[in-house]
Structure 1
Amino acid sequence: NCSMVLKTLHFITRPLSHEEGNFSLAYIITIHKELEMFVKLLRAIYMPQNIYCVHIDEKSPKDYKAAVQNIVDCFENIFISSKRENVVYAGFSRLQADINCMRDLVHSKIQWNYVINLCGQDYPIKTNKDIIQYIKSKWNDIIQYIKSKWNGKNMTPGVVQPLHMKHRTQVSYREYVHSGMSYVYPTKNIKAKPPYNLTLYFGSAYYILTKEFVEFTLTDARAKDLLEWSRDTYSPDEHYWVTLNRLHG
């Protein structure tokens, strides 16, 4: 019963300020367990002016998927990603899950400004308004002096690939997928260098990205080629976004 869900869980039903109502965020949430934790996270970040894509690990139990679907069905601005992956920690499937949501989000009727990715065990320590004001203030001075074609800046910091992380891209990795245990393992196959002789950067798999940058990653030939090259690397989500950000920046 959706009215019971809204009332019992105390979801916010209207923008809490004019500023928030005019600045929509998109969220990508990848989950696979702990329904109660997911609900707590969703309650904490939910705003009716935002849009939320939830990616459920295809390996998750049927009753878990059904429970999440029942909650999502109560909201017009929350949806399950149209394509689901068997997610393996440190595997390409984790990166693909985000991209699946991005492909759905760019077609959303809600005109969002930035996308933020989270996992089901995350929890915010800032309010929606705090996050918006941080995004605006973070790049306010830069935007005043530099007219960026991206209408803002991404938050995906990183450094040139450290020596102790060279192994992640020197040989091919494969995913072993099983409902009980899944993992990534190295092969003896040596990988070719990155396309376009790109310099790889490494950083966090978590980010705040502009909508324009998301559209760039989904359409640019260099982004597509780097994605394909990254398919058999270790934890590609820790180099893909950071490297692309340096590519266009």
Structure 2
Amino acid sequence: MNPLHGKKSRFLVCAAVCMFIYTFIYLKVPLHDESDEQKFRVKRAECGFYPDELCSALFVGKPAAFKIGNFCQKSYQPKALSCIHDSCSCSTVLKTLHFITRPLSEEEGNFSLAYIITIHKELEMFVRLLRAIYMPQNIYCIHIDEKSPRSYKTAVQNLVNCFENIFISSKREHVVYAGFSRLQADINCMRDLVNSKVQWNYVINLCGQDYPLKTNKEIIQYIKSKWNGKNITPGIVQPLHVKHRTEVSYRDAYYVLTKGFVEFTLSDARAKALLEWSRDTYSPDEHYWVTLNRLPDAPGATPNAGWQGDLRAIKWKDQEGLSHKGCKGHYVRDICIYGLGDLQWIIESPHLFANKFEAARNPLALECLERRLRLKVLRQAQVPIEQHWRLQEHSHFNMQLDV
């Protein structure tokens, strides 16, 4: 045999063996321990093709899942939202973005929720949030920070134009963190909502970094079973260490309020006086609603309420070791921006929503929650499922969507 042919044969054999080893060791990674009955393997180069299996492993805290998830996040391609920027037809927008287009049950159709959503950045995060909470029988007021870029405002307006029950607040504020403008933004939306034709039952406030953990049906059933006719404003009389904020303060800015209470806060002399007094206080939205809700004659008042309500799953830094075991993402202003390692804690939480998320930094955490929620929504539906309500079989990782 020619020596060159022999060397070439040995080289090809060696290359084939190396390729086999590389494929077996590096491209396939088990998400389950060898002791598990069922084993799941995923090609690193195909992160987008196994989203449900990967998410299931993340939800139960499989260590190998975090390694694969963190790898996949590096190859994440942001959703192509050109359809919103370029003003596609509304039918195309609704179908490609997978919005629910009919009430999913009689119970939901007869109980409308109003939402106030304050946003200022991350268009993709807003679209994911809106799609998750959207139902055609509800009504949505969007407050865009006046400081937001014009392109952002235009894109949001293009999306809103496709819905009769979504609108931009008629008056926009230059929102300052922990300032009075944040409270004023909610009040602006409330004035618009009480003048709308939709006969909504409760209003819920959200920010652009919130995400629901419960379906629309579950939220309604929670309100009706535990708080029927009452407002939900979790909070307590202020501790001494934060007395400098207002001298009469409570801590929590989230609420679920009856329509009667909203009308009361917009017209009652005491509510107007408290609003004026709050202008120079720190983070007035944290004390305004809960204080008014303690007035015995306010509609739906809960004068003796405490922290009950389960509105937001939040990992506060000062609660490490108490209510949670630490943030697996990173802290911003002492609040956890969730990472993959927080998913198990999030889904085991009894809360209606979770805060905070960053779609750009930890996209897989949000995508896993989105897939889990949409699956529950469709399972609970009591009407025929339309195909475009289903999310894609493949994830957004390593893929560019035509939306």
CA distance in 1, matches of 2:93, 2:294: 43
Q: Is the 8 A contact 2:116 2:189 kept in 1?
A: yes
Matched positions, count: 209
Q: Which SS does the other structure have where 2:212 is aligned? A: coil
2:255 to 202, 207, 211: 207
Residue identity opposite 2:120 in structure 1: H
Residues 152-193 of structure 1: per-residue CA shift (max 9 Å, x gap): 1000021112111111125xxxxxxxxxxxxxxxxxxxxxxx
CA distance in 2, matches of 1:244, 1:113: 19
Residue identity opposite 1:44 in structure 2: A
| Percent identity (aligned) | 86
2:138 to 41, 50, 54: 50
CA RMSD, Structure 1 to Structure 2 (Å)? 0.9
Question: How far apart are 1:13 and its partner, in Å?
Answer: 0.6
1:169 to 246, 253, 257: 246
Is 1:86 the counterpart of 2:163? The answer is no
Partner of 2:100: 12
CA distance in 2, matches of 1:64, 1:207: 27
Partner of 2:283: 235
Residue identity opposite 2:171 in structure 1: K
CA distance in 2, matches of 1:201, 1:108: 32
CA distance in 2, matches of 1:3, 1:164: 53
Partner of 2:304: none
Question: How far apart are 1:201 and its partner, in Å?
Answer: 4.5
Going by fraction, where is strand more abundant, 1 or 2?
Answer: 1
Question: How far apart are 1:203 and its partner, in Å?
Answer: 2.7
Residues 191-249 of structure 1: per-residue CA shift (max 9 Å, x gap): xxxxxxxxx34131011000000000000000000000001100000000000000133
Q: Is the 8 A contact 2:243 2:249 kept in 1?
A: no
Partner of 1:187: none
Q: Do the aligned partners of residues 241 and 225 (structure 1) sit closer, same or farther apart at CA in structure 2, a change above 3 Å counting?
A: same
Residue identity opposite 1:155 in structure 2: I
Q: Which SS does the other structure have where 2:246 is aligned? A: helix
Partner of 1:130: 218
Which TM-score applies when normalising by structure 1? 0.82
- List aligned pairs for 1:89-168, cutoff 5 A: 89-139=177-227, 152-168=229-245
Stretches of structure 2 lacking an aligned partner (at least 5 in a row): 1-87, 302-403
Is 1:68 the counterpart of 2:145? The answer is no
Which TM-score applies when normalising by structure 2? 0.51
Question: How far apart are 1:139 and its partner, in Å?
Answer: 2.8
Q: Which SS does the other structure have where 2:236 is aligned? A: strand
Question: How far apart are 1:43 and its partner, in Å?
Answer: 0.3
Question: How far apart are 1:109 and its partner, in Å?
Answer: 0.5
Residue identity opposite 2:166 in structure 1: I
| 4+ aligned runs moved over 6 Å, structure 1 | none
* Structure of greater Rg: 2
